[in-house]
Amino acid sequence: MGLTRDAVRVRVPATSANLGPGFDTLGLALGLHDELAAQVRVDGLEVEVEGQGAGDVPRDGRHLVVRAMQATFERLGERPAGLWLRCRNVVPHARGLGSSSAAIVGGVVLARALVDDGAARLDDAAALDLAATLEGHPDNVAPALLGGLTVAGHGADGFWATRAPLDDRVAAVAFVPPTGVSTEAARGLLPVQVPHADAAANAARAALLVVALGGATEHLLRATDDLLHQGYREPAMPESLALVRGLRADGVAAVVSGAGPTVLALTDGTDGTATGLLDRCPDGWTAVRLDVDHDGAVVLSGP
């Protein structure tokens, strides 16, 4: 019991949630990472931020990583007198690539590593439940914590998640626009009710998507079709939906990444598709080819 005085460093991946039809359920960890470091101090709070969000995020107890760390310390019954935190952010903010989940999962894993026997006292299932409670839904925090392709949900016993089989050939191209859309704004466009036929169609496609990503990649285009959320969000991101439609018309399994506005194109990489897709990037946007991250949040050695 107690706190370690050594600095701890954590790497946590970007994520893409929904993947088309798997609304609030499916998530994929991507090879783009934030690195966070923290150390318990005798008093005070010092927060350093480099990279994405450096000019915008607070440097006090309102910082999302700090809030996640404090919630974890509280869950473990610890109260550090002071804290130093350094964030080196690479994951774009407000772009649908899981920046808030990376912050939350990073904070939970950092705090857990700063507590003696923290991993034994807060296993991954409990860490996931805490992170999803802080985020409000599990689809991004699950792959950020566990890596790979995850299926997640919520029930009477809390949040849960499991990894699903993933074909090694699967890769992605992310088309990132220059301006973001908040998750709250994107969710605010969703209707309270949807047609039963649309829900049934999405359930079939989400099930097929798990099969497609597990090896039957010839079904990726059909499996990534969505009727539940992307179209409703078009007023907030018309350029994203136009890009999705254009890519899909050419046989590319393109979706809105999470709440958007980033567009994610999934490919099995067997025909050079991923490399060729980079040329489809709209003016002013950034396109990057990303492998899948299979490790999730990892505690690294050294500060």
96 marked ligand binding residue: yes
99 has binding-site annotation: yes
In a domain, 75, yes or no: yes
Q: What is the pTM of this model?
A: 0.95
Residue 95 annotated as binding site: yes
Looking at the fold, whether 44 and 148 belong to one and the same domain comes out as yes
pLDDT-derived band at 182 (thresholds 50, 70, 90) equals: confident
**Is 294 annotated for ligand binding?**
no
β-strand pairing of 82-89 with 44-51 = parallel
In a domain, 26, yes or no: yes
Q: Is residue 3 part of a domain?
A: no
CATH number at residue 183: 3.30.70.890
My answer on whether 145 and 219 are in the same domain is no
Element (H, E) at 59: none
- Give the domain CATH number at 44: 3.30.230.10
Residue 146 has φ and ψ, to the nearest 5°, of: -100, -20
**Residues 206 and 231 reside in one and the same domain:** yes
Question: Is the pLDDT reported for residue 135 higher than 80?
Answer: yes
Neighbours of 255 (CB within 10 A): 28
The reply to whether 98 sits in an annotated binding site is yes
CA 131/CA 252 separation, integer angstroms: 33
Query: How confident is the model over 26-69, as pLDDT tens digits?
Result: 999 999 999 999 999 999 999 999 999 998 999 999 999 999 99
In a domain, 28, yes or no: yes
- Evaluate if residue 151 carries a pLDDT over 90: yes
Please report whether residue 113 resides in a domain. Answer: yes
Instruction: For residue 1, tell me if it sits in a domain.
Output: no
Q: Are residues 148 and 175 in the same domain?
A: no
Statement to judge: residues 226 and 95 lie in one domain? no
Question: 146 and 210: one domain?
Answer: no
Give residue 181's pLDDT band: very low, low, confident or very high (50, 70, 90).
Answer: confident
For residue 231, tell me if it sits in a domain. Answer: yes
301 is in an annotated binding site: no
The span from the CA of 205 to the CA of 89, in Å, is 34
Six-digit token string for 146? 């566990």
26 and 124, same domain (yes or no):
yes
The strand pair at 22-41 and 82-89 is best described as antiparallel
DSSP calls for 163-200: EE---TT-EEEEEE-SS---HHHHHHTS-S---HHHHH
Closest alpha carbon to 237 in 294, 181, 157, 169 = 181
d(CA 278, CA 272): 11
**Residue 2 domain-assigned?**
no
197 and 118 in a common domain: no
Per-residue model confidence as pLDDT tens digits over 206-256? 999 999 999 999 999 999 999 999 999 999 999 999 999 999 999 999 999
Considering the domain architecture, whether residues 71 and 123 belong to the same structural domain is answered as yes
The parent domain of residue 57 ranges over 8-163+293-300
Q: Are residues 93 and 229 in the same domain?
A: no
Backbone phi, psi, residue 136, to 5°: 105, -15
**Rounded distance between C-alpha atoms, residue 227 and residue 70, angstroms:** 39
Q: Say how far apart CA 180 and CA 100 lie, in whole Å.
A: 13
Residue 13 is assigned to a ligand binding site: no
3-state secondary structure of 275: helix
Is residue 1's pLDDT more than 70? no
Cα 16 from Cα 237, distance rounded (Å): 17
94 is in an annotated binding site: yes
Domain tally, the chain: 2
Residues 183 and 267 in one domain: yes
φ, ψ at 91 (rounded to 5°): -65, 125
Query: Do residues 281 and 195 both lie within one domain?
Result: yes
C-alpha gyration radius of the chain: 19
Annotated ligand binding at 137? The verdict is: no
Q: Which residues pair with 85 in a beta bridge?
A: 38, 47
Average pLDDT, the chain: 94
